[in-house]
């Protein structure tokens, strides 16, 4: 139950009075989570198929994360990375073994910060300025990551952005070949374009990107902020494609819900000397302890395999839905997009009215990012509700 003694209307009224205005507020106030479920101020249960935009891979309020945070909070919360720390050292050691060849790491606080760091590292390493990104890409909202982001709705009103960025069609090898030159510092790619519509990179394209970067002396940055830590059936989605990037940006579910980001760094990245970059809170002991616990849970509960098997189960169920609204179902593991033949917003609203929380991905895609601990019973319930919503076109319209 809600121990703060505020009901839904009170919570919403206070937030509406004081919020900055940059968020589209929902009509429910969430106060508690457990596993794949969220609960509002009246203790009404919702199935969370958003995971906080991909943060809650381990589910909500995982006891091992709570225990690690509580223990570390009473020991040491913050410490700048100039001073070595036991939790940070253990986490660095853990990270060094996640992707062979990426044995250095920079810690920060979020996905956009990890992208910013990767972009800076690419420029300082190569001495070049130009960055090639892709159409439909979303890499964050701060100025560097926003410059790599394609959708004009995020960019408008903030120009001029950082110079030197260009965008090419996703999965188009010829366009990439033409765009990458001896002046290119890096190519930045999402393995799966989440915000852009849940489009998956082709094996041929990502391998070609690696070869093109090598030939031109550019670095390859892979953005795994949403796809990392088991979401697609492997620890990182890039593992499906037998490619090792020079820089891998990750965040979201890294620390089990505690804010944290990181950049894994390969041997081609040079010139990272003292003072080139930094982060006040990056690698603080509290976040590191939470991340260590999260990685332990991912291994012990075999969450990548859970995502792989449950994702295949869910995809099979979704393909069985007979609805004229559905154009395509695509995804990998438990990162799934249902593309409709019309705008998805009314259907996402209808799902929420039936206590299912889902996301959009562009104008016409329903995006499903449930916690990897979602049960098969919950998956069946999700499919039942989706079937109801997607076969009730007249009621929705």
DSSP 240-251: GGT---SEEEE-
Residue 345 token pair:
């917003």
Task: Report CA torsion sign: 280, 124, 214, 169.
Answer: positive
Position 5 scores a pLDDT of: 80
Task: List residues bridging with 262 in a β-sheet.
Answer: 107, 250
CA dist 382 and 314 (Å) reads 9
Per-block mean pLDDT, blocks of 10 residues, the chain (397 long): 76 96 94 98 97 97 98 98 98 96 98 98 98 98 98 96 98 98 98 97 98 98 98 98 98 98 98 97 98 98 98 98 97 98 97 98 97 98 98 63
Cα separation of 256 and 64, whole Å?
A: 9
Query: What pLDDT was estimated at residue 393?
Result: 59
Domain ranges of the chain: 8-61+303-396, 76-300
Length of the chain measured in residues: 397
CATH of 8-61+303-396, one of 3.40.50.11890, 2.60.40.3950, 3.50.50.60, 3.90.1150.10: 3.90.1150.10
Q: How far apart are CA 82 and CA 17, in angstroms?
A: 41
Q: Please report the pLDDT score of residue 394 as a whole number.
A: 46
Answer for the pair 248, 121: CB distance below 8 angstroms, yes or no: no
Q: Which residues pair with 365 in a beta bridge?
A: 339
- Dihedral sign, Cα of residue 11, residue 373, residue 225, residue 270: positive
Give the global pTM.
0.96
> Going by CATH, does the domain composed of 76-300 fall within 3.40.50.620?
no
Are the CB atoms for 31 and 40 separated by under 8 Å? Answer: yes
Label the pairing between strands 37-40 and 30-34.
Answer: antiparallel
Edge-to-edge strand ranges of the sheet holding 247-250: 104-108, 261-265, 247-250, 219-223, 184-190, 130-134, 165-168
β strands within 224-316, DSSP E: 247-250, 261-265
């Amino acid at each position: 139950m809600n121990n703060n003694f505020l009901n839904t209307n009170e919570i919403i009224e206070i937030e509406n009075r004081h919020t900055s205005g940059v968020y589209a507020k929902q009509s429910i106030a969430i106060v508690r989570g457990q596993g794949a479920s969220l609960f509002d101020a009246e203790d009404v249960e919702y199935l969370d198929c958003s995971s906080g935009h991909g943060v809650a891979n381990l589910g909500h309020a995982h006891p091992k994360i709570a225990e690690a945070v509580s223990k570390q909070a009473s020991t040491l919360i913050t410490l700048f990375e100039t001073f070595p720390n036991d939790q940070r050292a253990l986490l660095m050691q853990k990270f060094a073994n996640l992707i062979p060849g990426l044995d250095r790491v920079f810690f920060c606080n979020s996905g956009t910060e990890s992208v910013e760091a990767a972009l800076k590292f690419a420029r300082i390493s190569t001495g070049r300025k130009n960055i090639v990104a892709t159409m439909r890409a979303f890499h964050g909202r701060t100025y560097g990551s926003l410059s790599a982001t394609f959708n004009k709705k995020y960019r408008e009103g903030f120009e001029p952005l950082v110079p030197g960025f260009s965008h090419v069609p996703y999965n188009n090898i010829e366009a990439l070949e033409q765009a990458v030159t001896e002046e290119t510092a890096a190519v930045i790619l999402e393995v799966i374009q989440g915000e852009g519509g849940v489009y998956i990179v082709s094996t041929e394209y990502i391998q070609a990107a690696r070869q093109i970067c090598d030939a031109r002396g550019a670095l390859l940055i892979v953005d795994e902020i949403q796809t990392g830590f088991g979401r697609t059936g492997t620890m990182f989605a890039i593992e499906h494609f037998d490619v090792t990037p020079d820089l891998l940006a990750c965040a979201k579910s890294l620390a089990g819900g505690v804010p944290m980001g990181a950049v894994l760094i390969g041997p081609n990245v040079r010139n990272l000397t003292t003072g080139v970059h930094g982060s006040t809170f990056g690698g603080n002991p509290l976040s590191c302890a939470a991340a260590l616990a999260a990685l332990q849970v991912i291994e012990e509960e075999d969450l990548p395999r859970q995502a792989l098997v449950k994702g295949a189960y869910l995809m099979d169920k979704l393909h069985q839905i007979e609805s004229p609204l559905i154009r395509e179902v695509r995804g990998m593991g438990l990162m799934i997009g249902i593309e409709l033949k019309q705008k998805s917003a009314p259907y996402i609203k209808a799902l929420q009215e039936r206590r299912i929380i889902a996301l959009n991905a562009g104008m016409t895609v329903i995006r499903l990012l449930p916690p990897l601990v979602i049960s098969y019973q919950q998956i069946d319930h999700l499919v039942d509700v989706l079937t109801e919503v997607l076969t009730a076109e007249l009621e929705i319209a």
